[in-house]
Amino acid sequence: MNIILLGPPGAGKGTQASILVKERNMVQLSTGDMLRAAKTSGTEMGKKVAAVMDAGNLVTDEIVIGLIREQLEVQKDANGFIFDGFPRTLAQADALGELLAEMDEALDHVIELEVNEDVLVQRILGRAAEAVAAGGTARADDNEESLKIRLMAYYKQTSPLIGYYYAKGDLKSVDGLASMEDVAGSIKAALAT
């Protein structure tokens, strides 16, 4: 089973992906993690990634698709993949669809974690305050200004994917502001249909 988790920053995609990895033995393909690993791998693709990142440039969609292809090939016996942080744009969604078709794979589900932006911001700011109160540190970008910028980027670039996958009949939406357990249960129910 191959799935995409969609939702704005802080909606809980990473948390829910971790639950799916544990419960279903799926592989989480996090774009950020793949780029960091590739940069230090010494492979041909890794050298490309390092050169682009070291120059301070954004990694192209072609490179990210190449990294995803590598993972799909290397872990072909996996019990499915969770795409985390990819696709972010309509062009990336098309590229992922083409790659999966080429590899005789399918995208089985797209799960949107629906959230109210104001409630989400308050939840993240509360989480940051709790971390500091407990003697820890908050994420550097868990402040209202950074959150608004991240949310604007999401709505500008990524939210068109909701309509894209809805039109294909692949989209299922769950309440991303419910408790972690309830969200996991809603995702489980969505995956069963």
Q: Is 24 in the active site?
A: no
Catalytic residue among 13, 39, 48, 172: 13
Whole-model pTM: value is 0.84
Q: Is 22 in the active site?
A: no
Q: Is 148 in the active site?
A: no
Residue 8: cis peptide before it, omega within 30 degrees of 0? no
**For residue 33, what are its two tokens?**
């993690």
Catalytic residue among 24, 69, 123, 150: 150
Q: Is 2 exposed, middle or buried (0-12, 13-18, 19+ CB in 10 A)?
A: buried
Catalytic residue among 24, 69, 123, 127: 127
- List the chain pLDDT tens, one digit each, 193 residues: 999 999 988 888 989 999 999 999 999 998 878 888 888 888 888 888 888 888 878 788 898 898 899 889 989 889 999 998 789 889 999 999 999 999 999 999 999 999 988 888 888 888 878 888 888 887 766 778 888 888 888 888 888 999 999 999 999 999 999 999 999 999 999 999 8
Catalytic residue among 69, 88, 123, 188: 88
Among candidate residues 126, 112, 62, the one with its CA nearest the CA of residue 92: 62
> Please, what's the b/e burial string for 127-144 (b: 16 or more CB within 10 A of its CB; e: otherwise)?
ebeeeeeeeeebeeebee
